[in-house]
Homo-oligomer: A and B are copies of this chain.
Amino acid sequence: MRLVVATCSVDYAGRLTAHLPRAMRTIMIKGDGSVLIHSDGGSYKPLNWMSPPCVIDFSEPDDDLKAAGVRELWRVTNTKTADMLVISVLEIHHDSTHELGDDPGLIKDGVESDLQRLSAAQIEVYGEGFSLIRREYPTAIGPVDILARDAANTVVAIEIKRRGDIDGVEQLTRYLELLNRDPMISPVSGIFAAQEIKPQARTLAEDRGIRCVILDLEELRGGETDHDRLF
């Protein structure tokens, strides 16, 4: 990886066109040729970038650019999409290269699939007397996250999201419509479960007779038994 701090201007042409006026920035060139241009603020997203696979051509600027103070012209082209990024380097303030080697990668815990696994193992979080039929219950339009029975033995379709948005309610509605056509399991009621549910989504859900449940990850982890951990 090469790290460069330089005064530069940048032009991108690809799915859109974009321009960065002259300023001092950090340029990160990764081992695969990909390039990131960062300012000293904002969040993790660079001001501009080029995704791999790509190649960099380091060339001399023409006389006009030289007169404008440009010392080097870095042309980054994606070898697959024909996107192009041109960095006009005016002054280099720092330049160093480092061998990093491969990265073992990130290990995550607490994403949507974990919510599904944990809450299925503790199905009573959805109500007393609930029993699990199965996770990822298959239908013609995709799998339902959890299918269960409530205390009255009525089938319940549960849709799980990390953040409960209006889209999730629409999705569950489509499942319910389909499931209720099956006389073997009809009537089927619905539960919309998420760590956080948007007010608009809650309103729509309840208007359609769908119950909303807030899932607490810490609580689910606390209730996790040794047996659950095996899965």
Contact = CB atoms under 8 A, between A and B. Distances in A.
Interface of A: 1, 3, 5, 15-21, 23-26, 28, 30-32, 34, 36, 38-49, 51-52, 93-94, 96, 98-111, 167, 170, 217
Contacts of A52: 41, 43
Contact of A109 (B16, B51, B100, B110): B16
A34 B46 CA distance: 13
A2 B223 CA distance: 42
Given A26-B98, A34-B41, 18 more contacts: A1-B38, A3-B3, A3-B26, A16-B108, A23-B101, A23-B104, A26-B28, A26-B100, A30-B38, A30-B42, A34-B44, A36-B44, A40-B100, A40-B102, A44-B44, A44-B45, A94-B96, A170-B170
Nearest to A109: B17
Complex copy number for this chain: 2
B110 A15 contact: yes
Contacts of A18: 106-109
A88 B99 CA distance: 20
